[in-house]
Amino acid sequence: MTDKDYEGAAKWAEHDMSLPENSRTSLRGADAADFGRELVERSRGGRPSIDPDAVPGEKSPVRQVRLPRALDADLEAFASSRKRKPSEIMREALTEYLESHREAG
């Protein structure tokens, strides 16, 4: 691809491109933002730490958990339907569980 090719693609995007109706490949809302964030982060050389308090270069703790097959399949299907990663769902679920049980005393 040359600069001229990209110039042509830019003209197409500006004047002729139309977004498809009833698209099955579009992402919206949080899914769209997640996709865009990952796109930029990967291209910048890696994803930032999942821990906002981590110092640069610090690795996050890892815990391995064995799951019953049915629960694992359920997690995979749930994450896939939302175009998210199982690890994200597990972190969210654990956070919600701890918060709700902490409130309950």
Partner 1 sequence: MAITWAPSADKHGIDHEDALQAIMNAYYVEREFDEPRPPATVRPTLFIRTPPRDLHIFHVMVARPKHLERLEEDK
Q: What is the 3-state secondary structure (H, E, C) of 49-93?
A: CCCCCCCCCCCCCCCCCCCCHHHHHHHHHHHHHCCCCHHHHHHHH
34-73: which residues touch partner 1 (CB under 8 A)?
35-40, 42-46
Q: Which is nearer to partner 1, 9 or 98 (CB)?
A: 9
3-state secondary structure of 50: coil
Binding partner 1 by CB under 8 A: which of 1, 55, 65, 70? Answer: 1
The yes or no reply on residue 78 touching partner 1 (CB under 8 A) is no
Q: Which is nearer to partner 1, 26 or 80 (CB)?
A: 26
Q: Which is nearer to partner 1, 1 or 71 (CB)?
A: 1
Tokens 């997640």, located at residue: 34
CA distance 103 to 105: 5
Residue ranges in contact with partner 1 by CB under 8 A: 1, 3, 5-14, 16-29, 31-33, 35-40, 42-46
